[in-house]
């Protein structure tokens, strides 16, 4: 499934909103990655190591569902 699947001008179905949400979520990943890395570095500099580790795991919110979907597709 392409994330640019909503570019069809005849799209009036509910899938349009899901594809648009998926497209936005894909573009938010690099932003979340950069912000969490910078925040984790600042927390590490302040010697708040546990908080830095937790903040650095925020981008996993994007990767874990994709890996689960990949595992499901490969298994079926």
Answer yes or no: is pLDDT of 5 > 60: no
29 versus 12: the higher-pLDDT residue is 29
- The alpha helices in the chain, defined as continuous H runs, are 15-45, 49-56, 60-75
Q: Which residues contact 23 (CB under 8 A, 6 or more apart)?
A: 3, 4, 6
Per-residue model confidence as pLDDT tens digits over 16-75: 777 777 788 888 999 999 999 999 999 999 999 999 999 999 999 988 888 888 888 899
Q: With 0.75 as the threshold, say if the pTM is over it.
A: no
């Amino acid at each position: 499934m392409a994330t640019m699947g909503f570019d069809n001008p005849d799209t009036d179905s509910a899938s349009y909103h899901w594809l648009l949400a998926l497209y936005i979520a894909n573009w938010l990943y690099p932003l979340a990655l950069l912000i969490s890395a910078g925040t984790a570095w600042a927390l590490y500099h302040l010697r708040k190591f546990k908080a830095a580790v937790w903040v650095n795991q925020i981008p996993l919110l994007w990767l874990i569902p994709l890996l689960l979907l990949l595992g499901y597709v490969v298994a079926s």
